[in-house]
Chain A
Amino acid sequence: MKCLLGMTGLDVHSKGIRNLARLLREAGHEVVYVGEHNSPRSIVRAALEEDAKVIGVSFSSAGYLEHVRALMQAIHDEHATDIPVMVGGLIPDGDDVDKLRTLGVSAVFGPRSNLEDVTAFLDSLTTTRPESL
C-alpha cells in the first residue's frame, strides 16, 4: 500500500517516523516520506499528487490535537476525505485517543504500539476499502 508519511507543525522529533518509513518499506509497502515542517495543506496535496492510500503523521510535542484538527480540516478542504489518516508518537492512552478518533483519525499508535499494529491497520485498509467504496 502506498503510504505518505511526514511531520506537520514545528515538531523536530522525526526519528520515529523515519524509522517507521524504513520498516514499512521492508514490510513491502511503498512509502513516500515528505520530511518535517509541512503545512497541513502541503501534506494533503502531496498525498493527492502521490495517490497515497493513507497519510501518517507523528507528534512528540503536546500540541498534536490542534495540529491533527488542522490536518483534518485541510483534508476536508482539499476533498481528500477518502484518504485515511493514522497518527503516532507520544500520545498517551486515554481521552486523547478518543478525541483524535472523533476528529476523523482512523488509527492511533502510541508508545505501546508496535510495527505489527501498524501493518495490521494497513492490511485492514486493503481488505475493507474496496467494499466501502
Chain B
Amino acid sequence: MNRPDDAQHLTSPTGPESRLRSVSLSRTRTWGGLDTQDVYTPDDATIVDYGRNLGDPGVYPYTRGSYPEMYRKRMWTLRHIVGYGTPEDTRAGIEEALASGTTGIDVVLDNLSQEAIDPDHPLFLNDVGLEGCSIACVADLERLLQGIDLTQVDIAWHSALLIHAMVAALALRHGLPLRELQGSHMPDHVGLGLAGWGQKLLPADLAHRASVDCLEYVSQNFPRWTCGFPQAYNLRERGLTPAGEIAVGLALVQQTLEDLADRGIAADDVAPRLAWVSTADIDLFEEVAKYRALRRMWSRTMKERFEARDPRSMRLRISCHTSGRSLTHAQPMNNVVRATVETLAAILGGVQAVETCAYDEPVTIPTPQARELAIRTQQVLAHEAGVARTADPLGGSFYVESLTNDIESRSQQMLQEIEAIGFLKAVESGWIDELMDRNEHAFHAEVRSGERVIVGVNVFETADDETPPRFNFDRTGLEQRTRQFEVWKAARERDGLRTSLARIHREARQGANPYEAMVDAFTRDATIGEVWGVFRTALGYPYDPFGVLESPLETGVA
C-alpha cells in the first residue's frame, strides 16, 4: 500500500486537473527536491577550473566519464534479469534471454535464497522459487550453470548473502582457477538491512562484518570479480534522493575501507573491484548530474582520503537499474515511456551497465513480452537515437554543470552529518531509516496535494485501465524441489561438513575472517541456511531469525 501508484486520486475541482491542461509546467523543483532557475547562464555554471573540476573523460576527477572514449570503445552492457523457480527453470530463462540479445545475464534469487534460508524451512515452503531462482547449495548451482564457463561468461548475481562463496566453491570443485573467475555480486549487507531486510535478518554489526569479510577475501583472491558495492539502488527505492544516494553510499564505502585498512587491505587492493549499483529515476537532468557528481566525489575520496594511486580505484564504474518505484500500476503502458527516459539518463550519465525495467513490474515479475520490449528500448537508444556517440554530451551545459555542483554540495553536507554521527551508529539508531521515511512521507504528501504530478495516478486517470497479464510458469518442478532437497540433505557426508561448520563458528567468533571456511563448507555440501546460521550464532544472534530451526552444531544433525 501507499506505493507511488496508489496515491490519492484527485478528482475534486480544486485538484490539479482543474489547473493542468494536457501539458503544462507542474513543477520547478527537481524530483529529488532541489530548486532550479528558469535559465542558467555562464554566471551560474561555475566551470571554475576545467582541469580541476571536470577533466576530460577518462581523466581525474572523472566527472565527464570513467573512460576516454566512452561508448565508442565499449558500449554499456545490456543487462537483463532472469530468475524463477528451480535452477532448471532459470536455466531455460537464461537461454531465452541470450537468444533475444542480452549481453549480460543477471540472475535473481528467490527471497529465501537471498535471505539465506533453505527451501525446506517449514514456514516458507510456498515461497520457494516464487520471485527468483531457488539456490541453496553448490549442487543447485551445478544444475543452473552446467556447461557455462564461469571464466568466460559474466553473470551478475543479484544477491549479497554467500552467493559468491557458493560460486567460489563450485569453481574449486570443478578445478577452475579462482583468479580467472568472472562475474559479480552485491555484498552490501548493511544497505540491505536498511532496505527492508531489517534488524532481525541483518543487524548492522553482523551485516557490516559480512561485507568486510567478503571484500577482504575477494580483493585477495578474485582479480576478475566485481562487487556491486554500495548497493545504493535499494536505498533510492526506499526513499533516498539522488544527493542522499551519494552521501549514504559514500559513508558506507568510507567506513568499509577504513575497516579494511585495519586489516591491512589498502584502497588500491579493493576499490578496483567495486562498482556502484545505482538507479535512474524519472528526472533526466537530475540523474545525469548525480552520476557526474558521484564520479567526482568518488575519485576525490579515493585519492585524497584513502591515498589511492591506481586509476582503477579512482575511476568509478556504475551499474544502473532503472527505477522500479517510478513505475505505476495505473496505465502500465506509461511505464514504457518512464523506463525509456530513465535509460536515457543512465546513458547520458555515462554508466557501464543498464538494466531497463519491464513495464509490467508493478504487477508481476516480467513477462517475456515486457522483457523483450525493455531490451528493444536500449537497442533503439543505442542504434537509432545517437545518444552514445559522444562522451558526456551534456557536459558544459550551464544547467547540468550547476546541477552537478548543487548535488555535490548537498551530498557533502549530508555526508558530513552522517560522519558526525558515525555511519554504523546512524544505521543502528534508525537515523538513516528516519531520513528515508521522511522523504517517502513528503513524496506522498506532494502526490496527495497535487504538488507532484504522476500521470495516470493523480491526474489524467482512466477508470478502467487494463492490467497486464501476470507472469506464470509451470510450478510442478518446485513441488518436487523441496522433497529432493530434503533427501539430498539427509544423504550428505556428515563428518567433514560438521568440521567445516565448526570452523566457521570458531573463526567468526575469534574475529578472524571465516570466508574461506565458508567456501570450504560449501564444497562439502553445506547449505546456505547452515553456513549463514552458524555465522549468525558466532556473532551472538539466533541461528534462525524466525525462531524455528536450531543450529546443526547444537542438534548434531550435521
Co-assembled chains A and B: yes
CA distance A82 to B303 in the complex (A): 62
The total of chain A residues at the interface (CB under 8 A) is 40
A19 touches B444 (CB 8 A): yes
Q: A9 with B127: in contact, given A14-B196, A18-B437, A114-B8 (CB under 8 Å)?
A: yes
Instruction: Say whether B196 contacts A19, CB under 8 Å.
Output: no
User: B115, A10: Cβ atoms under 8 Å?
Assistant: yes
Distance, CA A20 to CA B196, complexed state (A): 15
A9, A36, A66, A111: the one within 8 Å of B362 (CB): A111
Residues from chain A with a CB closer than 8 A to the CB of B196 are 11-15, 36
Q: Shortest beta-carbon distance, B412 to chain A, in Å? A: 26
**A35 within 8 Å of B (CB atoms):** yes
Q: Give the complex CA separation of A68 and B177 in angstroms.
A: 47
Contact B198 A39 (CB under 8 A): no
Q: Assuming the A-B contacts A10-B115, A18-B440, are A63 and B1 also in contact, with contact meaning beta carbons closer than 8 angstroms in the complex? A: no
Within 8 A of B (CB), among A19-76: 19-20, 22-23, 35-39, 42, 58, 61-63, 66, 70
How many A-B contacts are there with CB distance less than 8 Å?
117
Most chain-B Cβ atoms within 10 A of its Cβ — which of A9, A15, A20?
A15
B427 interface hit (Cβ, 8 Å): no
* With A15-B440, A22-B441: A111-B7 Cβ-Cβ less than 8 Å: no
B45: interface (CB < 8 Å): no
Q: Is B546 an interface residue (CB 8 A)?
A: yes
Instruction: State whether A111 touches B199 (Cβ < 8 A).
Output: no
Contact (Cβ within 8 A) A20 B547 = no
| Contact between chains at B126 and A111 (CB < 8 Å) | no
Q: Which residue of A lies closest to B328 (CB)?
A: A111
Contact yes or no, A16 B1, CB < 8 A: yes
Count contacts on B: residues with CB < 8 A to the other chain.
Answer: 46
Q: Which residues of B contact A61 (CB under 8 A)?
A: 111, 127, 130-131
Quick one: given A36-B200, A39-B546, A66-B126, are A10 and B117 in contact (CB under 8 Å)?
yes
Chain B residue at minimum C-beta to C-beta distance from A62: B130
Is B409 positioned at the interface, with any CB of A under 8 Å from its CB?
Answer: no
A88 to B1, CA, bound (A): 5
Within 8 Å CB of A15, what residues of B? Answer: 2-3, 196, 237-239, 325, 440
- Residues of B near A36 (CB, < 8 A) are 196-198, 200-201
Choose from B325, B330, B441 the contact partner of A23 (Cβ within 8 Å). B441
Q: Return B278 CB to nearest CB of chain A, in Å.
A: 18
Is there an interface contact between B131 and A62, defined as CB atoms closer than 8 Å?
Answer: yes
- In the bound assembly, the distance between CA atoms of A124 and B214 in angstroms comes to 52
Q: Which residues of A contact B239 (CB under 8 A)?
A: 15
Q: Are B444 and A90 in contact (CB under 8 A)?
A: no
Q: In this assembly, does A112 line the interface, its C-beta being within 8 Å of a C-beta of chain B?
A: yes
- List, in ascending order, chain B residues with CB within 8 A of A92's CB: 363, 467, 470
A15 to B440, CA, bound (A): 8
Task: Tell me if B123 counts as interface (CB < 8 A to partner A).
Answer: yes
In the assembled complex, the Cα of A109 lies from the Cα of B123 at a distance in Å of 25
A111 lies within 8 A of B329 (CB): yes
**Cβ-defined contact, B2 with A115, below 8 A:** yes
Q: How far is the CA of A20 from the CA of B7 in the complex (A)?
A: 11
| A12 → chain B closest CB, angstroms | 3
Tell me whether B123 and A19 are in contact (CB under 8 A): no
Residue of A nearest to B110 (CB): A10
Q: Which positions 1-52 of chain B face chain A at CB distance < 8 Å?
A: 1-3, 5-9
Q: Kindly identify which residue among B6, B9, B127, B448 contacts A63, using a CB–CB cutoff of 8 Å.
A: B127
Nearest CB of A to B523, in Å: 27
Evaluate whether A10 and B112 lie within 8 angstroms (CB atoms) in the complex, with A19-B437, A37-B546, A114-B9 already known: yes
Q: How far is the CB of B183 from chain A (nearest CB, A)?
A: 24
| Interface status of A81 (Cβ within 8 A of chain B) | no
Residues from chain B with a CB closer than 8 A to the CB of A88 are: 1-2
Q: Is A126 an interface residue (CB 8 A)?
A: no
What residue in chain A is nearest B448 (Cβ atoms)?
A115
Q: A9-B127, A15-B196, A61-B131 are in contact. Are A109 and B467 (CB under 8 A)?
A: no
Determine whether B124 belongs to the interface, using a CB cutoff of 8 Å to chain A. yes
Known: A39-B547, A114-B9. A16 touches B2 (CB 8 A): yes
Q: Mark B90-123, 1 if CB is under 8 A from A, else 0.
A: 0000000000000000000001100101000001
In the complex, what's the smallest C-beta–C-beta distance from A49 to chain B, in angstroms?
A: 16
Q: Which 3 A-B pairs have the closest CB atoms?
A: A12-B196, A88-B1, A10-B111
> Which residues of A are at the interface with B, using a C-beta cutoff of 8 A?
9-20, 22-23, 35-39, 42, 58, 61-63, 66, 70, 88-90, 92-93, 109-116, 118
Given A10-B111, A18-B440; 8 other pairs, CB 8 A cutoff: A15-B238, A16-B2, A19-B440, A36-B198, A39-B123, A39-B546, A88-B2, A115-B448
Query: What are 12 of the A-B contact pairs (CB < 8 Å)?
Result: A10-B127, A11-B196, A15-B238, A16-B3, A17-B2, A19-B440, A19-B441, A23-B2, A61-B111, A109-B1, A113-B1, A115-B448
